[in-house]
Amino acid sequence: MRVVNKPLRKKDAMALVTGKPVYTGDLVGENALVVKILHSPHANAMIEDINTSIAMKVPGIEAIYTYKDVPQKRFTMAGQTYPEPSPYDRLILDQHVRFNGDAVAIVAGENEKAVDKALKLIKVKYEVLPAVDDFRTALDNPVLVHPEENWIANCPVGADNKRNLCAQEVDGNGDIDGVLADCDIVLERTYHTKANSQTPMETFRTYTYMDTYGRLNVLSSTQIVFHIRRILGNALDIPKSKIRVVKPRIGGGFGAKQTSVTEVFPAFVTWKTGKPAYMEFDRKETQTAGSPRHEMEMHVRIGAMKDGRIRGIDLHTLSNTGAYGEHGPTTVGLSGHKSIPLYNKYQEAYRFSYDVVYTNVQAAGAYRGYGATQGLFAIETIVNELAAELQMDPVALREMNIVREGDIMPAYYGEQTNACALDRCLTETAKRMNWKEKYPCREMENGKIRSVGVAMAMQGSSISNCDIGGATIKLNDDGFYALTIGAADMGTGCDTVLAQMAAEVMECDYDDIIVYGADTDSSPYDSGSYASSTTYLTGNAVAKACMQLRESIQKIGASIMGCDVEDTEFDGKKVYRMELEEGVVNEVSLIDIATASMVNNNYETQFTATLSSPVSPPPFMAGMAEVEIDKETGTIRVINYEATVDCGTPVNPNLARVQTEGGIAQGIGMALYENITYGKHGEILENSFMQYKIPTRQDVGRINVEFEASYEPSSAFGAKSIGEVVINTPPPAIVHAVYNATGVWIRELPVTPEKILNGIKEKQS
């Protein structure tokens, strides 16, 4: 291939490194109102009285809005394809505030100083209510997070607000109880992962203004422009035709910006006042009123024979959606459907059940891995525990049981793996890690212990039979192309990857493709950048649109030469006759075709392709962690991380490698550092980077990434996704390495020195 599978520089690289004004905050007009939120100080309360009269007297204050001023129509802030599976349980402002950080009032003013002063002068009288603070006791708790009668569930996800239930389901194949009863060994364990914040460098921010035609324009750091348009139409109770949403550059999303966190507030201000408005969450608000990963507790039973054959897995996931149901019904499904299928070889039965419950804590949302991360921590750890019980090498146990190319996966919606290099990923990772020599551990001269751990992962490529990828390609003067997309490049490089795919089909230079998007007025509909969909789904749409344009270019060229299109070829630079004839035109350059297309032309030079997919081909990954542990202090340090990824054909190997390295770093953070705890009023104590620890470059050790290519037949150029699968292996691999060094299994993240020391002491006693 000429362009695909080449490490080309990102389309936006120079603009970013030279500090051009490309982000939302760079593009705000000088006269925009500053918008901020008064947040609730209680976990669960009713507003008995709210007095804004004194605050309104602050010079420069334009408006203050309370629950009395907003539409009483419930909606969801989750950015998902219609009909939204997340319940309609939000108001812009509600008399009932459901977590410490919930929105109480909107303040808009001419400057930040005035707004900050007004926020302090709003007088609120609360009736403080009992709170549901433990998600294990939430189901059928007498305290209801959502007692309201106008709560709506649009999809049959097993939700019941009168039980604090956001979603519930049981899925399975075969007689799991019978299979487990017949196994030589059955392990039963419980694993717990806490909420994690995505911590994008660019916090949530939105700029809104009314245009000349009376339409609400929204410029926002979002992954989901079309979903934001729908959400705002529902929230403001206005026609969606009155709303335009545009995405500039995004300074990191990781799923956080698949939820409408800030858009609704300045949009409401602009719609009410007619004035431009800007809202920017500070770091504290991003940590305490954002959309973090769902806390989950997973109860697992696994059954195997003495020779290592894994015959059945039974998983129940309890998920904490927090105060609102954004992504609650959907994230939980991945905890089972993207973990159980890994052990497909001898699997005779499985059961996967879940409950998603409301509690009075910050509402959860989407985060890279989207539930698979939590489920894989549980399944991969119990497989490592099984290997220890069987006294088998955990790599050998996996090699015996893993899914392979051509397998049908009952636990993955009955899909077949048409491209799977997981076996090679595992083999190559073990080889580079020097697994056989390092496993399980080694005593070092400094008295510390170095050990290794292993884990695998799978994900998906888009949401099958649901989400849509769209792309428009247009031929322009001088023979260059404009590619318009609705997907959002959030630093991942999708503009670059899609341009490479277009250039490959059009047989042109990469620089001849200009990429624009995302804009709800001009972009073709695209579900957005989530669910690892862009390269696979939108990439397929790009390839399809480009093929249609190629055919039209040939028709224009044939008409200029006066011959049948079947007698011509297009090589990216010119259309030419396959059999030359004397005395006639035998070729026409692309530039001449572009010019001719603008005069007396009946052939289209712009094509839009829209695609959905009946399948979601999984990428696969194997990861191995090498850690060093001081048994005297419990201190743990990641020394080395080896990873091998099967993402089909890597369209841009450099970007794929950076994606993988970043995901591994985030996974290490989840495993070792990131923790959320609550104060007596339900407040999150880790509300800044002083308390909420994420790893620096010094904390992740050496990360080495390689690729094992497979070829996905349903994809353009054989590509699968890579965005999410890469975060999933560090937590179970690190926990495994801790066990190999200390004999201690830590089943609740994060792994801390205290937990290691306490585990060692318990083991010794």
25-62 burial: b if 16+ Cβ within 10 Å, else e: beebeeebbbbbbbbbbbbbbebeebebeebeebebbb
At residue 215, the 3 state secondary structure works out as: coil
3-state secondary structure 36-91: EEEECCCCCEEEEEEECHHHHCCCCEEEEECHHHCCCCCECCECCCCCCCCCECEC
Is residue 247 within 8 Å of 218, Cβ to Cβ? no
pLDDT of residue 506: 98
457, 621 contact by CB (below 8 A): yes
Single pTM value for the model? 0.97
Select from 722, 491, 541 the least CA-distant residue to 10.
491
Residue with tokens 């969909």: 533
Integer Cα distance of 457 and 621 in angstroms: 5
The rounded distance, in Å, linking the Cα atoms of 573 and 559 is 17
Cα-based angle 38, 39, 42 (whole degrees, multiple of 5): 140
Q: How many other C-beta atoms can be found within 10 angstroms of the C-beta atom of residue 478?
A: 10
Q: What angle do CA 412, 380, 324 make, to 5 degrees?
A: 65
Q: What residues contact residue 126 under an 8 Å CB cut-off, 6+ apart?
A: 40, 42, 45, 46, 47, 48, 97
574 within 8 A of 556, measured Cβ to Cβ: no
Q: How many beta carbons lie within 10 A of that of residue 118, not counting itself? A: 26
Side-chain half-sphere of 214: how many Cα atoms within 13 Å? 3
Separation between Cα atoms, residue 736 and residue 755, nearest integer Å: 14
Buried b (16+ CB within 10 A) or exposed e, 400-422: bbbbeeebebbbbeebebbbbbb
Q: In what side-by-side order are the strands of the sheet with 469-475?
A: 513-516, 481-485, 469-475, 606-611
Please give the average pLDDT of every successive group of 10 residues along the chain, which has 765 residues. 93 92 95 98 98 98 98 97 94 98 98 98 98 98 98 96 98 98 98 97 98 97 97 98 97 96 98 98 98 98 98 98 98 98 98 98 98 98 98 98 98 97 98 98 94 98 96 96 96 95 97 95 96 96 98 96 95 94 90 94 96 97 98 96 98 96 98 97 97 96 97 96 97 98 98 97 90
Give the per-residue pLDDT at 320.
98
Say which amino acid occupies 46: M
Residue count of the chain, please give it: 765
pLDDT score of 455? 98
| pLDDT at site 709 | 94
Distance between CA atoms of 32 and 638, rounded to whole angstroms?
47
Residue 581 has a pLDDT of 85
